[in-house]
């Protein structure tokens, strides 16, 4: 790069900074890790390396064709989004239509409710990490098949290992049963703190279920308060 173009690029960066933009992400990265904006002067090697490794993992997910039907019918994979070192991780079931279109988790109606749930415990979406058990949309939003869960779960285990959250909030039966390796119902799993490799797991109803059964929002609120309390202790 010539000196002149370096100077004009620096001026452009200064201008972006003044208008509140602290970090520029490549378009392909933006999907994956909407990291909390850090100031240019704060070195955060742990976050950066975890973010880089998440980006590498997201490329592997992008190229996955283990579930033939899902690979053929998806528009794109939905890796997950949020902070690379989030203390709190939400895990849902699988992308739906909107998520498949946008390549981002929980962006449809259920996602709007999840955003409210996150904000109810004084957090922002960018401060947590949100992903699903399956990284591809099952056609017609059918339930994930057992083989699909088996194929896809190593990606989740790697995401958890890289992010190292303090708390995992499992949204609904598929997430809770997969993470805890159990067939116990979501109603029975709620209200206790479970363990996944030393990480606390709190189970609650899936936002889509709550949209259909608003009376259970009260119980979900109890679960969120438990998440909040555990976050304060961590």
**Which residues of this chain interact with ligand URA, rule CB under 6 A?**
92-96, 99, 105-106, 108, 110-111, 132, 208
Pick the closer one to ligand URA by CB: 110 or 156: 110
Pick the closer one to ligand URA by CB: 44 or 217: 217
Q: How far is the CB of 158 from ligand URA (least distance, A)?
A: 18
Neighbours of 150 (CB within 10 A): 13
Q: How far is the CB of 161 from ligand URA (least distance, A)?
A: 21
The residue at minimum Cβ distance from ligand URA is: 92
Q: How far is the CB of 171 from ligand URA (least distance, A)?
A: 6
Q: How far is the CB of 108 from ligand URA (least distance, A)?
A: 6
Q: How far is the CB of 206 from ligand URA (least distance, A)?
A: 6
- In three-state form (DSSP H/G/I as H, E/B as E, the rest C), the secondary structure along 71-119 is HHHCCCCCCCEECCCCCEEEEECCCCHHHHHHCCCCCCHHHHHHHHHHH
Pick the closer one to ligand URA by CB: 34 or 99: 99
Is residue 58 packed enough to be buried (19+ CB in 10 Å), middle (13-18) or exposed (0-12)?
A: buried
Place of tokens 């303090």: 166
CA angle 148, 153, 154 (to 5 degrees): 125
d(CA 69, CA 58): 20
Pick the closer one to ligand URA by CB: 50 or 178: 178
Pick the closer one to ligand URA by CB: 12 or 97: 97
């Amino acid at each position: 790069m010539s000196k002149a173009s370096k100077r004009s690029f620096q001026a452009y960066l200064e201008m972006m900074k003044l208008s509140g933009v602290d970090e520029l992400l490549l378009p392909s990265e933006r999907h994956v890790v909407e990291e909390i904006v850090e100031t240019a002067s704060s070195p955060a090697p742990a976050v950066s390396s975890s973010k880089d490794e998440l980006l590498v993992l997201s490329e592997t997910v992008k190229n996955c064709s283990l579930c033939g039907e899902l690979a053929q019918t998806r528009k794109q994979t939905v890796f997950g989004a949020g902070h690379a070192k989030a203390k709190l991780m939400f895990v849902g079931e699988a992308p739906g239509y909107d998520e498949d279109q946008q390549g981002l988790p929980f962006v449809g109606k259920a996602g709007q409710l999840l955003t409210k749930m996150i904000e109810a415990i004084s957090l922002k979406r960018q401060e947590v990490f949100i992903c699903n058990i399956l990284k591809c949309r099952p056609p017609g939003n059918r339930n994930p098949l057992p083989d699909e869960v088996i194929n896809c779960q190593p990606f989740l285990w790697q995401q958890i290992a890289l992010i190292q959250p303090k708390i995992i909030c499992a949204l609904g039966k598929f997430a809770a049963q997969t993470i805890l390796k159990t067939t116990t119902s979501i109603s029975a799993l709620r209200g206790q703190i479970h363990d996944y490799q030393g990480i606390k797991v709190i189970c609650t109803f899936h936002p889509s279920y709550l949209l259909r059964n608003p009376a259970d929002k009260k119980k979900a609120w109890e679960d969120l308060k438990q998440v909040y309390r555990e976050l304060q202790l961590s």
